[in-house]
Structure 1
Amino acid sequence: MRCGALPLPPPLGPPEGQRGAGQPQGTHISQDLVGRSLVIDTLLDNGTRIVEDNHSYYVSRTYGPGAARRQGLWVDMAAADSSHVKVHGILSNTHRQASRIVLSFDFPFYGHLLRQVTIATGGFIFMGDVIHRMLTATQYIAPLMANFNPSYSRNSTVQYLDNGTVFVVQWDKVYLQGKEDVGSFTFQAALHSSGRIVFGYKEIPVPVLQISAAQHPVKAGLSDAFMVLNPSPEVPESRRRTIYEYHRVELDTSKITNMSAVEFTPLPTCLQHRSCELCVSSTLTFNCSWCHVLQRCSSGFDRHREEWLSYGCAQQADAKSCEDLAEDNHYSPPPDGSSSPLDEDITTPTASLFIDSLATEDDTKLNQHAGSEGVGSDLPPNAVGAPIHTGTIVGIVLAVLLIAAIILAGIYINSHPTSNAALFFIERRPHRWPAMKFRNHTNHATYAEVEAASHEKEGFVEAEQC
């Protein structure tokens, strides 16, 4: 069956270091004390280069074309079990589309267990659970985010594999929109059940730095964010969803070449601790705190931040031991049942964006329609909006009454054409009704959801289970 589709700082460069005694020839080890990163350059006869960076949440290792480790990181889709590989018929025939896929395992991403992801034709995987207009801004796994158009060639495909322990997405022989003459790109992203992420690059015909970002963002790396509800300045009784990006890993795109690879190994986070004792005694670089009400260990900067603030967990953990937290087993929620992220001083710089704000150059819109692959169209519980206030209910009731009155008046006038009311409107009807025109703006990267269809790309047949 066919798949349903829903349509920073600059990277650290290798610092200069001194060769220590006893090190093998051609190996340089140096440490960046400010960025807390370790860089290892191995310069062998075959030109192998391995760069290791510590990004707090992940350790990344970049492998050059000659590295033996790189060869074992690439997943050969053609040699894999055909029952596990699927060619996405819609994504392979469209441009700027996205498809939601359910995984067969829980994938740890920044310490959060995720069961569904959204594949985009633009060379990235959206990891958020709430679909919004700015998919390219944050919450992504991007081996190479760019303006790819799989529909240009019959040989271009977007295919994925899920064997229960690894989920692989491969953009195979895809071309850049408007720059098809530079050649085709082939690369993949592998999400392992252990949380390890691997980017593999097979065909990169031009340097990534030469790809234009005018119509679509161009970047590679990881990003995650948390979402909170803030009062809207325009309508006091309404709430606005705001996304705060709390961490991003940006790869040096100059190192993305043919036959190269990047491996991300997840580091421990506060969320892994399941008891107060383990949480408060944690030796992680994060400032882990235990919230007795939520029974959760956190630094306060993850996808559960709004709940962490709403239940007063930040104040609850101040100068308290596990015994004190267990005794203090009562909690009075704030009057409005929520809390703003501005109630606390945020010591970690974060980038923020408003979901209902206007589009920017880093925008990717996604117009939501019904239909997905194995997923209902309802948003998850944590995506439900703020409670409806009394004023909103009164406004809805008045609007319904007004509409009902207009409908009844229309029925009366239609059934009594000679009445005074009917003659009144007939005499004053306009001779020319204004027409409204809708313009299609093409200056922003736009991803649209589409209904599931049975068509497939010519020359490619989705493998069925034997």
Structure 2
Amino acid sequence: GRPPGSEGRRARDTSEGTRISQDLVGGSLAIDTLPANETRIVEDNHSYYVSRIYGPGDARRRGLWVDMAAANRSQVKIHGILSNTHRQASRIVLSFDFPFYGHLLRQVTIATGGFIFMGDVIHRMLTATQYIAPLMANFNPSYSRNSTVQYLDNGTVFVVQWDKVYLQGKEDMGSFTFQAALHSSGRIVFGYKEIPVPVLQISASQHPVKAGLSDAFMVLNPSPDVPESRRRTIYEYHRVELDTSRISSRSAVEFTPLPTCLQHQSCEMCVTSELTFNCSWCHVLQRCSSGFDRYREEWLSYGCGQPDEKTCEDLAEGGRYSAPPDSSASPQAQDGTSPTASLFIDSLTTEDDTKLNQFAGGEGKSSGAPMPTGTIVGIVVAVLLLAGIILAGIYISGHPTSTAALFFIERRPHRWPAMKFRNRSNHASYAEVEAASQEKEGFVEAEQC
């Protein structure tokens, strides 16, 4: 049951089939503003998290804010470099394993732009996928001596607070103070202490503006130009975007994680799981998965999740290895009826720092001369086949998130549309702070994807 009146919310779960490019970018959606004194709790049940938004007057909201000033001073650190720079990011090692979309992570990357990057591979375009973003925007902590990026780690919760930070070029809007708390249980809390203007008034022309969660998997594909090199392609398989009209001073958002296939450690528990995901057990990898997580490339390489693998006894007895990378076995992604498959298909990123690239290829030639009837029929069939291929190519080019497009992307990635990061001048590019010492004043450029 959804609370009365919550139908106006715009927190997006890609399993609903909503195109991400329509949210917060095109401005085509109606805005349902919430009065400042409203205390109604808005709850959304996503595939991976349940999110609850608390208004300024709700008692639960007050208990969610972590008071950094009152915390143990030995556990709170002000990041010297991030507090004095713009568009920088720094890796931090946690004291505990944090479960994010079912993956246990020990390292995160704090960015000056109001978000935490959760990926393993650091690239200049951190804002597109794999983030925890209480309020992603073009913040410049170096503007004021009072602006800081600070964090706390007490062994059970990791908190990052962007304290009194200003928007680059829009300093007259006032300072923002907000935080993200990552609990060892997997619970995520966004707390907003000072939001001087409606978030919808913040310009996204120089930097994406959004709040929510995102995760993706990375696939290494051979480069078409340099055979011995490989190209990273990142596919976002899930995103939750919060309704930014509900973000205000003294509000909060709480994300409670839902069970995933990855938590199951045995075949029996995996195949009998009653989760909404279509969990499958891979005997070779000893892993339970829906096929849509950060291990997807390995999952497909070993032919996991094939429909012919039905019982745990069959898996244990067979103990068979499927041929890695170039296996002709059909992966789970082909099943268009799988809810998780449709979840992924509808969520390929087409905004912010990513775009779809075309790698076209095709050739054909025929000669005209008197030929037997059989040859003519063959040519007609070939022409019709070629026309079908061309029409299919046009369809895939125009519908890069369709089932057919996904099928060919995974098998012939160098010839079909694939998502790749490109450095576009009007979007955020981040450099990574040198990890050796937080106090060192030298920076290194992050590896570009």
The aligned residue for residue 91 of structure 2 is 100
In the superposition, the TM-score normalised over structure 1's length comes to: 0.68
1:321 matched to 2:311: yes
Q: Match for 1:65: what amino acid?
A: P
Max radius of gyration: which structure? 1
Cα–Cα, structure 1 residues 305 and 455, in superposed 2: closer, same or farther, change >3 Å? Answer: closer
Q: Match for 1:214: what amino acid?
A: S
Which secondary structure does the structure 1 equivalent of 2:430 belong to? strand
Instruction: Identify the match of residue 214 of structure 2 among 206, 223, 239.
Output: 223
Map Cα deviations across residues 24-65 of structure 1 (whole Å, 9 max, x no partner): xxxxxxxx9x959xxxxxx99963120000011000000000
The aligned residue for residue 26 of structure 1 is none
Cα–Cα, structure 1 residues 290 and 242, in superposed 2: closer, same or farther, change >3 Å? Answer: same
Partners of 1:220 and 1:159 in 2: CA distance:
19
Report deviation, 1:137: 0.3
**Where does 1:219-298 land on structure 2 (aligned, <5 Å)?**
219-298=210-289
**Where does 1:358-369 land on structure 2 (aligned, <5 Å)?**
361-362=352-353
Cα–Cα, structure 1 residues 338 and 446, in superposed 2: closer, same or farther, change >3 Å? Answer: farther
Cα–Cα, structure 1 residues 228 and 49, in superposed 2: closer, same or farther, change >3 Å? Answer: same
Q: Match for 1:218: what amino acid?
A: V
Instruction: Identify the match of residue 15 of structure 1 among 2, 7, 31.
Output: 7
In the superposition, the TM-score normalised over structure 2's length comes to: 0.70
Cα–Cα, structure 1 residues 444 and 46, in superposed 2: closer, same or farther, change >3 Å? Answer: closer
Report deviation, 1:15: 2.2
Q: Match for 1:330: what amino acid?
A: R
Partners of 1:204 and 1:217 in 2: CA distance:
17
Of the structure 1 ranges 342-351 and 165-174, higher mean CA displacement relative to structure 2 is found in 342-351
Instruction: Identify the match of residue 190 of structure 1 among 181, 184, 190.
Output: 181
Which secondary structure does the structure 2 equivalent of 1:258 belong to? coil
The aligned residue for residue 428 of structure 2 is 445
Structure 1 consecutive aligned stretches of length 4 or more whose deviation exceeds 6 Å: 337-343
| 8 Å contact kept, 1:310–1:338 | no
The aligned residue for residue 25 of structure 2 is none
Report deviation, 1:229: 1.9
| 8 Å contact kept, 1:99–1:449 | yes
| 8 Å contact kept, 1:245–1:350 | no
The aligned residue for residue 445 of structure 2 is none
**Where does 1:383-394 land on structure 2 (aligned, <5 Å)?**
none
**Where does 1:41-190 land on structure 2 (aligned, <5 Å)?**
47-190=38-181
Of the structure 1 ranges 323-332 and 254-263, higher mean CA displacement relative to structure 2 is found in 323-332
Count of residues paired in the alignment:
342
Cα–Cα, structure 1 residues 51 and 129, in superposed 2: closer, same or farther, change >3 Å? Answer: same
| 8 Å contact kept, 1:243–1:353 | no
Partners of 1:303 and 1:339 in 2: CA distance:
20
Q: Match for 1:321: what amino acid?
A: T
Structure 2, gaps ≥5 residues long? 18-33, 355-422, 442-449
Which secondary structure does the structure 1 equivalent of 2:69 belong to? coil
Partners of 1:246 and 1:311 in 2: CA distance:
20
Q: Match for 1:70: what amino acid?
A: R
| 8 Å contact kept, 1:216–1:362 | no
| 8 Å contact kept, 1:73–1:200 | yes
Report deviation, 1:134: 2.0
| 8 Å contact kept, 2:200–2:245 | yes
Partners of 2:334 and 2:37 in 1: CA distance:
53
Partners of 1:204 and 1:124 in 2: CA distance:
15
Cα–Cα, structure 1 residues 350 and 114, in superposed 2: closer, same or farther, change >3 Å? Answer: farther
The aligned residue for residue 388 of structure 2 is none
